[in-house]
Amino acid sequence: MGFFWVLSPIFLSTTIAQPQATGVIRGKVLNGTMDGTGVADVEVTLHQSGDGQEKERGTTKTDKDGAFSFSGLSSEKGEAYYLRATYKGVEYYSPTVSFGDKKELLLDLSVYETTDKDTNISVKMHHVFMGLKEGVLWIQEIMVLENRGNLVYVGYRKVEPGKREVLRISLPKKAAALEPLKGLMGCCIVKTEDGFIDTMDIKPGRKEIRFSYKVDYGSSRYELSKRLYAKTESIDFLIRDKGIKAKSDMLEFKGSVGNPGQRFLHLSGKDLVKGSRIVLELRGLPWGKGFFKLAIVGLVVVIMGAGLAYPFMRKWTRKGESAEPGIMGSERVTPLDQREQLLRDIAHLDDLVESGEIDSEEYRSKRNQMMERAKEVTRQLRGLASKDGVE
Please report the pLDDT score of residue 178 as a whole number: 94
Please report the pLDDT score of residue 219 as a whole number: 85
Looking at residue 86, its amino acid is: T
DSSP 388: T
Tell me: the pLDDT tens digits for 236-247? 999 987 788 999
What burial letters (b/e) apply to 64-75, b meaning 16+ CB within 10 Å?
A: eebbbbbbbbbb
Q: Can you list the residues of the chain whose pLDDT is less than 50?
A: 1-11, 19, 289-295, 305-332, 384-391
Q: How does DSSP assign 63-98, residue by residue? A: -TTSEEEEEEE---TT-EEEEEEEETTEEEEPPPB-
Please report the pLDDT score of residue 169 as a whole number: 97
Q: Give the residues across from 147 on adjacent strands.
A: 121, 205
Element (H, E) at 315: helix 310-316
The residues, any chain, with a CB within 8 Å of residue 188's CB and separated by 6 or more, are 163, 198, 199, 200
Please report the pLDDT score of residue 324 as a whole number: 33
What is the rounded distance in angstroms from the CA atom of residue 283 to the CA atom of residue 219?
9
Using alpha carbons only, give the angle 258, 261, 267 rounded to the nearest 5 degrees.
35
- Percentage of the chain beyond pLDDT 70 is 69
Tell me, yes or no, if the pTM score tops 0.85.
Answer: no
Residue 61 and residue 111 in contact, taking contact as beta carbons nearer than 8 Å:
no
Please report the pLDDT score of residue 10 as a whole number: 43
Among 32, 37, 28, which Cα is nearest to 10's? 28
Tell me: the pLDDT tens digits for 59-103? 999 999 999 999 999 888 888 999 999 999 999 999 999 998 899
Please report the pLDDT score of residue 307 as a whole number: 47
Give 111's Cβ-side CA count (13 Å radius): 24
Please report the pLDDT score of residue 391 as a whole number: 37
18 φψ region: left (φ > 0), alpha (ψ -120 to 50), beta (else): beta
Using alpha carbons only, give the angle 145, 148, 154 rounded to the nearest 5 degrees.
70
Please name the residue ranges forming H helices in 67-143. none
Please report the pLDDT score of residue 242 as a whole number: 74
Q: How does DSSP assign 38-72, residue by residue? A: E-SS-EEEEEEEETTEEEEEEEEE--TTSEEEEEE
Q: Give the residues across from 86 on adjacent strands.
A: 91
Element (H, E) at 298: helix 296-305
Please report the pLDDT score of residue 241 as a whole number: 78
What is the rounded distance in angstroms from the CA atom of residue 54 to the CA atom of residue 364?
33
The residues, any chain, with a CB within 8 Å of residue 75's CB and separated by 6 or more, are 21, 22, 23, 99, 102, 103
Residue 152 and residue 90 in contact, taking contact as beta carbons nearer than 8 Å:
yes
